[in-house]
Chains A and B, each alone.
Chain A
């Protein structure tokens, strides 16, 4: 088990390196720092001095990979790649365009993001799994048919629709909750209840249908027939046997996203004015702040890899057949 973990963690390093190289190539090789400078300063009438100054201020005036002019290890460390990309491995993300430290900013914004994403995730999972179990329980009936129809209709609606009309209905027309904003502590509740509810509803259609398929596939298996044959009720069969065995495919989809909950939701946070990582990312995209986007890409892939490892570990918990040696 321990050896397996070490191996997985070791495997994560080349992947992160790959992510790093890919983003580096996207941001610095496809576009030279000169292009970026011209872009930030305005395309027309920009002097060479202004570009040089912009680059020097942000440390983009070094060579990309190899600095022949420096001595010793500085040949490698005094480069854009080392300063901008490799430093991310130790949590040094540098400063954003507005001069603020990205790592500090991320630390303060992770709270609101989690406060929104975690309840959405838990409530959503509970609701979808129970609804899917219900549909599987009544499979083949009219309720099941219309339930599936409703799911297909719900997943054909744009996510933006749920947000825009939910916000309009509950905040503007009915005035039940504030339109947007955020507060710390318990008073966050009134700001979070609507985004959480909308987040749950928007995800219902596709997940219920997916889980229902999983359950029904599981119901067709031999052990279920055996369980029925020995006289167990349908409810016991579903909850004791089917649910437990369907956990494996469910876990594959669910555990991967748990670490990424910290990244927050781009749409929800920007629509509801929640100062989390999602709105931070959107603002950075709109302001074309490349350092922040780069940092978020890196953190996102770290969290994804953590999710993959967690998924494998969770298998050992629910499926005794899985052993890592």
Chain B
């Protein structure tokens, strides 16, 4: 086999989460109130535009979660050996960006290095000049115009992006038409006329295809342009050790997703179980659980995380034999960070659910179930849990953006992800001192902040749409 698949722990957890989300989708389909709420989300233009963007980020992150090790050149008579470097499908797709490292900083689209170097001339003299980059603009022959090359690549990239969008939109619309009722607006449009679908009039309450297609169009155009330009240049420049910044921001997406999603995997069971149990059973169970979360809450969040992360670091540093590769160690540290964040942040959800369960246990149908002698655990599962599910969904999507933002802060404080893990936090942390340089090295920071902004904004807007659809207080207004 030319490669050996590698399953990192965080990959396993992330794929498990994808499975759980799929289950949630199936459950939602079967439960009419949830299905109706999701339809409301689907009808929201802003919500679906945000969801589309999130899906693109998720695709990047998931492509970065299929890891493998490449086989070394085979030697006859020996078992196949594999390289130590753990790569992902995304790394493979971006091999052009990953391998082409410069010496040090270079500005976006630059052809010359940021730092001056002394070159020895042919006649033995010396000259201080900005040396040309190894890869950035290497295709330009002397006399070629940089401007013309960049413009041409840009235009061809945009055209290619447009074509790609047309392909995707055709598939999507064709698929939508098959599932649509004959009277639906979407059924009136031929699948290959995606542009018309963006501007079509759709009846209120129908799925916001226009927003999905428009967002996809913007994403495709940008992606096309970036791809075309990055074949010949470093579109977002390079960092201190000459690594392409575009590659780094794309790699950061996975770290952000892991932090934002895996953490909820820890939060949900704790928050749901303890919250509902406290509210439903009351008495000493309530007292113990309330005591537990008051203690956890009373420690300032950052300090509790700091204390836990410091301890984890001591454990990791004193047990180097646990980890086969550096990637494994960084990966486990990332998961441990998620675990710590989850353990410190389930209290909010638990408190909400406790209040809701307090109200629900007095309702007639719960009382009736009790009178019939239904076991308490069954009541929790069958009668309480489905009726607090909307709170769980709202909290889940609302927490995501906060977690992504906090990763950057934690990495700055020095208690975030492993320094070798590429994340928005480590990018910002490495680049923030460079604003003091002259000329200013701004591109790493701006790229990291811009991608993070897009991800968090999409998450916030999606959370808003979800809240508007699921929160009974808000839908009444």
A, B in one complex: yes
State whether A290 touches B299 (Cβ < 8 A): no
Secondary structure of the A contact surface, majority rule: helix
Would A285 and B414 be within 8 Å (CB), given that A19-B299, A38-B318, A304-B300 are in contact?
yes
Contact check: which of B296, B307, B456 meets A26 at CB < 8 Å?
B307
In contact, A43 and B299 (Cβ under 8 angstroms):
no
Contact A285 B306 (CB under 8 A): yes
Once A26-B307, A161-B449 are accepted as A-B contacts, the answer to whether A18 and B314 lie under 8 Å apart by CB is: no
Contact A156 B401 (CB under 8 A): yes
Name B294's contact: one of A15, A27, A156, A288 (CB within 8 Å). Answer: A15
CB-CB contacts below 8 Å: A124-172 with B: 152-153, 155-161, 164, 168, 172
> Is residue B295 within 8 Å, beta carbon to beta carbon, of the partner chain?
yes
The smallest C-beta distance from A175 to any residue of chain B, in angstroms, reads 13
Partner of A15, one of B291, B408, B440, B460: B291
Produce 1/0 per residue, A286-307, CB < 8 A to B: 1010100110110011001100
Interface residue B222 (Cβ < 8 Å from any Cβ of A)? no
List the B side residues contacting A39 at CB < 8 Å: 314, 317-318
Query: B428 at the A/B interface (Cβ < 8 Å)?
Result: yes
Q: How far is the CA of A313 from the CA of B31 in the complex (A)?
A: 44
| Residues 98-133 of A at the B interface (beta carbon under 8 Å) | none
Residues of A within 8 A of B432 (CB): 160, 164
Query: Is B8 interfacial (CB-CB < 8 Å)?
Result: no
A234 at the interface (CB under 8 A from B): no
- Contacting A at CB under 8 A, from B436-477, are 436, 440, 445, 449, 452-453, 456-457, 459-461, 464, 477
Given the contacts A159-B409, A297-B307, A36 and B314 also touching, CB distance less than 8 Å: yes
Q: Knowing A158-B405, A288-B310, A304-B300 are in contact, say whether A15-B436 is a contact too (CB < 8 A).
A: no
A-B contact count (CB 8 A): 123
Distance (Å) between the CB of B336 and the closest chain A CB?
Answer: 12
Q: Does B140 contact A (CB under 8 A)?
A: no
Interchain CB contact (< 8 A) of A300 among B303, B315, B464? B303
User: Bound complex: CA of A201 vs CA of B310, how far in Å?
Assistant: 31
Question: Is the C-beta of B21 less than 8 angstroms from some C-beta in chain A?
Answer: no
Contact A267 B300 (CB under 8 A): no
The size class of the interface chain B forms with chain A is 35 or more
Q: In whole angstroms, what is the CA distance A282 to B313 when docked?
A: 16
- B26 contacts chain A at the CB level, 8 A cutoff: no
* Residues A293 and B297 in contact in the complex (CB < 8 Å), given A14-B291, A160-B428: no
Q: Which residues of A contact B457 (CB under 8 A)?
A: 152-153, 156
Chain A residues contacting B299 (CB-CB under 8 Å) are 19, 22-23, 297, 300-301, 304
| Interface residue B435 (Cβ < 8 Å from any Cβ of A) | yes
| Closest chain B CB from A157 CB (angstroms) | 6
Nearest-CB distance from B311 to chain A (Å)?
5
Given the complex, which residues of B lie within 8 Å of A290, measured CB to CB? 310
**A contacts with B, residue count (CB < 8 A):** 46
- Interchain CA distance A124-B415 in the complex, whole Å: 28
Pick from B298, B424, B440: contact of A301, CB below 8 A. B298
- Give A155-198 interface residues, CB cut-off 8 Å to B: 155-161, 164, 168, 172
Known contacts A15-B291, A260-B300, A304-B298; A43 and B307 CB within 8 A of each other: no
Minimum CB distance partner of B315 in chain A: A31
Considering the complex, which residues of chain A in the window 250-306 have a beta carbon less than 8 Å from any beta carbon of chain B?
260, 263, 266-267, 281-282, 285-286, 288, 290, 293-294, 296-297, 300-301, 304-305
A290 to B298 alpha-carbon distance, docked (Å): 19
Task: Judge if A30 is at the interface, Cβ distance under 8 Å.
Answer: yes
Q: How far is the CB of A106 from chain B (nearest CB, A)?
A: 14
In the complex, B413 has a CB within 8 A of chain A: yes
Say whether A35 faces chain B, with CB atoms less than 8 Å apart: yes
Q: Give the residues from 189 to 228 in chain A that come closer than 8 angstroms, CB to CB, to chain B.
A: 220
CB atoms of A152 and B298 under 8 A apart? no
The 4 closest A-B pairs by CB, nearest first: A18-B295, A156-B457, A300-B300, A301-B298
